[in-house]
Amino acid sequence: MATSELIEALQALAHERKIDEFYLIERLEASLARSYQHILDLEYDARVTIDRQTGRIYVYELVPVGEPDEETGEYSEFEERDVTPDDVSRIAAQNAKGVIAAIVREAGRQSIYEEFSDRVGDLVTGTVLQGTPDFTIIKIREGVEAELPHYDVRRYPNERNERPNSEHYRHNQRLKTLIIEVRDPNGDSPRARGDQARPPIVVSRTHPDLIRRLFEIEVPEIYDGMVEIKSIAREPGARSKVAVASREDNLDPVGACVGPKGSRVRMVVEELRNERVDVIQWSDDPAVYVANALSPAKVSHVSIDEDNHYATVVVPDDQLSLAIGKEGQNARLAARLTGWHIDIKSASFAGEPLSGDNMLIDDSPEEEEGSLQCAYVSEDGTRCRNHARPNSRYCGIHAAQENQ
């Protein structure tokens, strides 16, 4: 490539990619200086200049003159010795390819960062391009790709797993994902493995806010602000709980999110690949909120310890397994949703609760007088679960209460 052709090509590329022409030439000069120092086996550093008008290339060896600094041992003055080789243009063209590719790549990443850095938390729809054992590449639009990482975090503790274990993707499949990070190419944050070869946008299918954005699409009341999502607890791919509240007195927030015959929540469930989604009503009363969070189990009684942020829940015997859920999932999600530590007990184990503050009582009929359960009730409102003695209302331990 002739020198004039090289400068014309650089100018055209700078205009096309919207890169500063002088920055492009300076990067090429620095690259050529390193190359010529090695090729010409120079004793001292090299400097390369490219004439901005003609494109001619000059190579100089920087020979130090005078005495070095006493403290640093470095020279402050240099003499430029012209060592320009005859085939300077050929070597320059070879270096230009690599420099241009690197600059274009950096410029593209910087452009994507400037466009998407303010969109962290947004929902985007993309198409699956390719998958690897560690991540899936998703095309957001022409020239913009995102990474959905699903690394084995046991092997790579500094990486992420943003894919539900139950999900697997095929080529050209359309996915809705949540932007959780846009890597800054000029940032000081630690680099990811193979950062230069990976897309700068990181998306997630496990983040709780993915459910929030999906409901905003399907439920106009949430988008308009009449219904507010207060809290989300999620075990990706399995089950989620969403607490909602209404800002309008006559609007049912749960009904608005579920939709006619469950149509709205069904669309969210389908996008989440049949992940179960429970919509419950938020309440500023902790006892009511905890009871709602344990839905679909029916709760008999909730006792709140505000000092320790502890909630003791009593449920009918036939509701105990439903309240706890498979492998404790329902109770675990309810605790995350409410922020309360929840202890669940069956009615037969805890004793039948009496009415009082921070309690929820079911509408089951009162125990008949001839019941075999001891009638003793402790100070905290918990009834003794022992059987009463024959012809007595109390068990042997509390028989002394008979005559009081």
214 and 183 both lie in a single domain: no
CATH value at residue 275 = 3.30.300.20
12 and 101 both lie in a single domain: yes
Phi, psi of 225 (to 5 degrees): 90, 5
Predicted pLDDT at 355: 41
Predicted pLDDT at 365: 40
Given a cut of 90, whether residue 376 has pLDDT beyond it is no
Residue 132 within any structural domain of the chain? yes
Top-confidence residue, 112 or 70: 112
21 and 34 both lie in a single domain: yes
73 and 89 both lie in a single domain: yes
Asked which of 55, 89, 116 is the last residue of a domain, the reply is 116
Distance between CA atoms of 131 and 149, rounded to whole angstroms?
A: 10
Stretch 128-138: mean pLDDT, rounded?
92
| CB-based contact 330:324 (threshold 8 Å) | yes
Q: Which of 207, 126, 193, 125 is nearest to 163 (CA)?
A: 207
Asked which of 218, 250, 282 is the last residue of a domain, the reply is 282
Predicted pLDDT at 179: 96
| CB-based contact 290:334 (threshold 8 Å) | yes
The rounded percent of the chain whose pLDDT value lies above 90 is: 44
Top-confidence residue, 112 or 226: 226
Given a cut of 90, whether residue 391 has pLDDT beyond it is no
17 and 99 both lie in a single domain: yes
Top-confidence residue, 66 or 364: 66
pLDDT in tens, 243-278: 999 999 889 999 999 999 999 999 999 999 999 999
Least confident of 2-16, 182-196, 317-331: 182-196
Predicted pLDDT at 2: 53
Predicted pLDDT at 338: 95
Predicted pLDDT at 121: 93
125 and 201 both lie in a single domain: yes
Stretch 326-340: mean pLDDT, rounded?
94
Q: Which residue has the tokens 């095929």?
A: 170
What does pLDDT average to over the chain?
83
| CB-based contact 315:298 (threshold 8 Å) | yes
Q: Which of 8, 16, 2, 74 is nearest to 45 (CA)?
A: 74
Predicted pLDDT at 75: 78
250 and 180 both lie in a single domain: no
Geometric angle at alpha carbon 269, from 150 and 204, rounded to 5°: 25
- pLDDT tier for residue 161 given thresholds of 50, 70 and 90: very high
Residue 232 within any structural domain of the chain? yes
Top-confidence residue, 69 or 313: 313
For the record, the structure tokens of 276 come out as 């179960």
199 and 223 both lie in a single domain: no
Predicted pLDDT at 151: 92
Predicted pLDDT at 297: 93
- pLDDT tier for residue 402 given thresholds of 50, 70 and 90: low
Given a cut of 80, whether residue 354 has pLDDT beyond it is no
Given a cut of 90, whether residue 219 has pLDDT beyond it is yes
Predicted pLDDT at 230: 96
Stretch 386-401: mean pLDDT, rounded?
71
Given a cut of 80, whether residue 196 has pLDDT beyond it is no
Predicted pLDDT at 403: 62
156 and 214 both lie in a single domain: no
For the record, the structure tokens of 240 come out as 């989620």
| CB-based contact 161:205 (threshold 8 Å) | no
Distance between CA atoms of 7 and 21, rounded to whole angstroms?
A: 10
User: Domain range spanning residue 43?
Assistant: 3-116
For the record, the structure tokens of 135 come out as 């991540």
Predicted pLDDT at 385: 65
230 and 202 both lie in a single domain: no
Residue 224 within any structural domain of the chain? yes
Top-confidence residue, 2 or 216: 216
Work out how many domains the chain is built from and give that number.
3
CATH value at residue 32 = 3.30.1480.10
Distance between CA atoms of 313 and 346, rounded to whole angstroms?
A: 8
**Strand pairing of 201-204 and 144-149?**
parallel
pLDDT in tens, 33-64: 888 888 888 888 889 898 877 778 888 988 88
Predicted pLDDT at 191: 55
Residue 223 within any structural domain of the chain? yes
